[in-house]
Amino acid sequence: MSQSRYKRSERIAAMTSILTNHPNRQFGLGTFSQQLDALKSALSEDLGVVKRTLESLEIGEIHSATGAGGGIRLIPRMPREAQQLFLQQLTEELIKPERILTGGYLYYTDLISSPDMVQSMAEMLAQHLDFKEADMVVTVETKGVPLAFMTARLVNRPLVIVRRTSRVTEGSTISVNYRSGSTGTIQQMVLSRRAIPAGSRVVMIDDFMRGGGTARGMHDLMKEFDARVVGSGVLMATREPRQKRSGPCTPLLYLESVNEETGEVLISPNEALWKE
């Protein structure tokens, strides 16, 4: 092989961009070797620089696996200080009195559809939940879909969106009924039979949890697929009831209280995130 077309610094720029653009996806050194016309040994050294830098700044990790299924993947990370600052800024935004809706609900649809916000939320969920055993990420339509999708993207797992009504474009479906803790009504969850193979392990991501009724319904639905919920994370959970009907769930924030009369909203970060 002749001298590489690209200099070291150029190869580093190229590989960093490709790896960052596909978080947690395994790339073989051969792919880069071809694309950048460089020896694998040189690329290994280049990747050492990338690894050292991202880890020193705490913004990412490079994992290498050797052998047949081997390759390199990049896992974005968020420094602890950045996480705390982000939750603080998010809280300041969420407690604005004009966000209070009739019934004591909070309007935050704008925040969980904003790319930068969702990126940080998803990075935190991907970092604090355990996806090692998970085959896929599941969520219930609609508000939590961007967050669930971005989390799925960061851990490189497919997303499955459970719907509330049956659609003709999904083929035959399985449905369960559940009682929503937020509204107290009986609701339906519907999922295409094709969506989840038997034996799958899923992590549930949603935007909000009150009593855990939706998550309970998800457990029931997964049973119908011979699948199992192995983890659960939400942007925000109410502090009460402490025992959610669905079992353990990791929220980024706790909603302590909403006072419609005074306009006071109390939200606190989930301190347990940093006690691992």
Write down the residue that tokens 């490709």 correspond to: 18
What single-letter amino acid sits at 6?
A: Y
Using left for φ > 0, alpha for ψ between -120 and 50, and beta otherwise, residue 163 falls in beta
Write down the least CB distance from residue 42 to its own copies, Å: 12
Written as one string, the DSSP assignment of 62-122 is EEEE-STT-EEEEEE---HHHHHHHHHHHHHHHT-GGGEETTTEE--TTGGG-HHHHHHHH
* 68, 110 contact by CB (below 8 A): no
Q: Which two tokens stand for residue 263?
A: 């306009």
Site size for its own copies, by CB under 8 A?
Answer: 68
Least distance to its own copies, CB of residue 274, Å: 22
Cis-peptide, bond into residue 142, ω within 30° of zero: yes
Contact region with its own copies (CB under 8 A), list: 115-123, 224-232, 246-254, 255-263? 115-123
31 contacts 23 by C-beta, under 8 angstroms: no
Q: Does 257 bind its own copies (CB under 8 A)?
A: no
Rounded Cα distance between 244 and 255, Å, is 14
CB of 120 to its own copies, least distance (A): 10
Report in angstroms how near the CB of residue 58 gets to its own copies at its nearest: 11
Rounded CA separation 92/69 (Å): 45
Amino acid at 109: T
Residue 166 interacting with its own copies (CB under 8 A) = no
H helix or E strand, kind and range, residue 215: helix 213-224
If binding is defined by CB under 8 A, does position 34 make contact with its own copies?
A: no
Dihedral sign, Cα of residue 78, residue 82, residue 83, residue 87:
negative
Q: Quick one: which of 63, 96, 194, 223 contacts its own copies (CB under 8 A)?
A: 194
Pick from 2, 3, 169, 262 the residue near its own copies by CB under 8 A: 169
In the complex, least distance from residue 272 CB atom to its own copies, rounded to whole angstroms: 26
Q: Which is nearer to its own copies, 101 or 272 (CB)?
A: 101
- By the rule CB under 8 A, 150 interacts with its own copies: yes
77-106 residues near its own copies, rule: CB under 8 A: 101-103, 105-106
Closest to its own copies by CB, 104 vs 247, is 104
Residue 44 engages its own copies in binding (rule: CB under 8 A): no
Contact residues for its own copies, defined by CB under 8 A: 6-14, 16-18, 20-22, 25, 35, 46, 49-50, 52-54, 56-57, 59-60, 74, 76, 101-103, 105-107, 109-110, 113-116, 118-119, 141-143, 145-146, 149-150, 152-153, 156-161, 163, 168-171, 182-183, 192, 194-195
